[in-house]
Amino acid sequence: MKNKSYSGIAIFILFFILMLLGINLNKDELEPEQKSTWKELKSIELMAILENEMKREDSGSSQTSTEDLPDYTQMFPDLYTVYSTPVKMDKGKKIAYLTFDDGPSKNTYEVLDILEERDIKATFFIVGSAINDKNEATLKRMVHEGHTIGIHTYSHMCNEIYCSVERFLDDFNTVYQQIYDITGERVNIYRFPWGSNNGYSKGIKDALMEEMERRGFSCYDWNVSANDSVGNPTPYSIRSNIKKDLNRQDYPIILMHDSSINDLTVKMLPDIIDMIQEEGFEFDTLDNRVPYQFQW
């Protein structure tokens, strides 16, 4: 117990020193009006690293030697976040989580209109390459209206993002910075394209998820799917796919899509919401739910 305590103190002292050094590093190269912002961001980065490392040590998973860490841990030194992971759920309620992948698109506007009308909050897993000048306002609206933004990678291309941990981090960092520049929000949850147990990432999955956790990010799969991007969905199939698995879960995470090809999903959304509410569910965003990943 003493060794663990001493190790924690040593980590704190180390990062405190790094913070003091970091907030002065290169600051003379900045314009006066940039110094305050740069200092704040640098402090956030270093404190995020510290908090995440302390959490890992408390769980017994901390690596004490930097020599043991892979090279990719040194990539993108500002790709860190602090996520207060929920540890339990309210067993007295049935709560459903509407999630939309692959946006933003022309359909996202209508999805947001429907959610606003129903006073429902949802979670949107954003694809960075889908963001353009016309739909940047969509992301700002999500934040303003209380929805949660997650990351669904920049490219959504399996042959690019799953080649290596380094390639995934490069892709992820692009959309992470993109969303921050637009909204001022530091996203802390993500969803793998094709889910966490897809065949494309099998060779790097464990190392990748460990690295993402080390940086403070949490992964969310789903346990109910509309299957609205598979084959030729119909209104009946979308509704039936959701209904058949909905009551098997106290806290269903419902996968839908709001890309430009998912017009039918948007048309069905009011009916889907009615059905879920009739089954006694309330709605919430995923950052208030215990993380969920597929079981291998």
Determine the pLDDT at residue 132: 96
CATH number listed for the domain at residues 95-288:
3.20.20.370
* Domains of the chain, residue spans: 2-69, 95-288
**Percentage of the chain surpassing pLDDT 90?**
71
Determine the pLDDT at residue 17: 45
- 114 pLDDT more than 80: yes
Higher pLDDT, 221 or 44: 221
User: Which single residue is written with the structure tokens 């799917």?
Assistant: 225
Determine the pLDDT at residue 10: 46
pLDDT digits (tens, 9 = 90+) for 77-105: 999 998 888 888 877 889 999 999 999 99
Rg (CA), the chain: 21
Q: Is 272 exposed, middle or buried (0-12, 13-18, 19+ CB in 10 A)?
A: buried
pLDDT digits (tens, 9 = 90+) for 4-23: 444 454 454 445 444 444 44
- 217 pLDDT more than 90: yes
* Cβ atoms 77, 49 nearer than 8 A: no
pLDDT band at 116, cuts 50/70/90?
very high
Using the Cα atoms of residue 117, residue 122, residue 127 and residue 132 in order, give the sign of their dihedral: positive
